[in-house]
Amino acid sequence: MTVRGNSKLGARSLRAGLKNMSAGALAAIAAFATAIVPAAADGRLNIYNWGEYINPEVLKKFEADSGVKVNLDIYGSNEEMLAKVQPGGTDYDIVFPSVHMHDIMAKLNLLEKTDINQYEGFKNIDPQFLRASSDPKGEYCLPYAWGSVGIVYNREVLGKDIVGWKDLIETVKAKNLKFTLLDDMREVIGVGLLLDGKSVNSTDPDELQAAAQTIIDMKPYVAAFTYEARPMVEAGDVAAGHFFVGAMVDVLREPEKLGYIIPVEGATMYQEDICVLKSAPNKENAKKFLEFYTQPEVAALNIAQQTNGTPNVQARSLTPENIRNSTEINPTDETMKRLEIFVDIGKDVRKLDRVWTQIKTAQ
């Protein structure tokens, strides 16, 4: 496996490695993975994924089973990925767009029809994760991983556990503390909309303006808009951070000190899908990778490092016990009702651009 390109970590970066897993847990999952029947193939596969959003052991396993050499490049956002692949001329075969970007790429005719839904391993995929409106049957892409976007916090700094955004804001105000927000337009505006009791996909100008003001009102207590919340929270430099469920890597390591919650006011959820580009030079190897990833043992090996959710139902029972039993990683049905996923809002994104500028420039 070759990792190419820059070393910038993406929004889904866990800043964690296999060192965070016990040797026993990794060995058990690896043992399951060895049972996979090798596929006959050769050549190359060029993967373009979020930073640290795939376990290197998964790629090594695919190489060993298939004889295919894997090259990995990484990106930091859906927009960065789209800008790279849309003009064509790249040698990428597989990308991992979020659901709304999956739909955008489908409209732009960038995705190859793989018929992965006809492969026998597709039966392992929970149908509720066929979320892309452009691909309701899974004819193009394979659901990959999902999770919530909540709050990671340091209870030693806060002096308590929190239940949501209002609780956090009241606590930091009272104790003169600070927290971070993601440097992400839709996620931050989404927090404002949720606090106002609105949908994170609202494009109503009045609702967007109100959401912007909600965020601006909390800015005196915001240390930064950043993707680097995890080390700041762990060190106690800030009391809490707006972050992905991947922060559970830290929480599981220091459960007395750290916590992660899905706010009572609601939260966004993310989901990425594995898609083959229409311009892919290695389409057959790309399709073999999709088939490979339907195997529960492979999905479990990935989730063991990532600490997020998997659409692969059979894989869930194969993950380490602390992940399998975590209601933060695997929310209850009741909590799932509080999660909302972004949809493609088309040209209305310009409305969000305007209020995002107001938020970022407000003093």
Residue with the two structure tokens 């049905």 = 333
Look at residue 4 in the predicted model and tell me its pLDDT.
63
89: nearest Cα among 286, 278, 274 = 278
Amino acid at 62: F
CATH class of residue range 147-268+336-361: alpha beta
310: nearest Cα among 126, 80, 119, 117 = 126
SS3 60: helix
Give the whole-angstrom CA distance, residue 217 versus residue 360. 12
Give the whole-angstrom CA distance, residue 150 versus residue 285. 36
Give the whole-angstrom CA distance, residue 208 versus residue 171. 26
Look at residue 34 in the predicted model and tell me its pLDDT.
40
Name the strand (E) or helix (H) holding 222: strand 222-225
* Residue ranges, the chain, pLDDT below 70: 4-42
Give the whole-angstrom CA distance, residue 197 versus residue 204. 13
Q: What would the two tokens of residue 301 be? A: 């090996």
Residue with the two structure tokens 């692969």 = 312
Look at residue 286 in the predicted model and tell me its pLDDT.
98
Residue with the two structure tokens 């063991």 = 304
pTM: 0.83
78: nearest Cα among 58, 55, 103, 60 = 103
276: nearest Cα among 97, 121, 98, 84 = 97
pLDDT digits (tens, 9 = 90+) for 17-42: 333 334 344 444 444 444 433 333 46
* Domain 2-146+271-327, CATH homologous superfamily name and number: Periplasmic binding protein-like II (3.40.190.10)
Parts of the chain belonging to CATH 3.40.190.10: 2-146+271-327, 147-268+336-361
Give the whole-angstrom CA distance, residue 127 versus residue 217. 40
The answer to whether residues 360 and 225 touch, using CB atoms and an 8 Å cutoff, is yes
CA atoms within 13 A on the CB side of 173: 9
End-to-end Cα, the chain, rounded Å: 47
The answer to whether residues 199 and 185 touch, using CB atoms and an 8 Å cutoff, is no
Look at residue 279 in the predicted model and tell me its pLDDT.
96
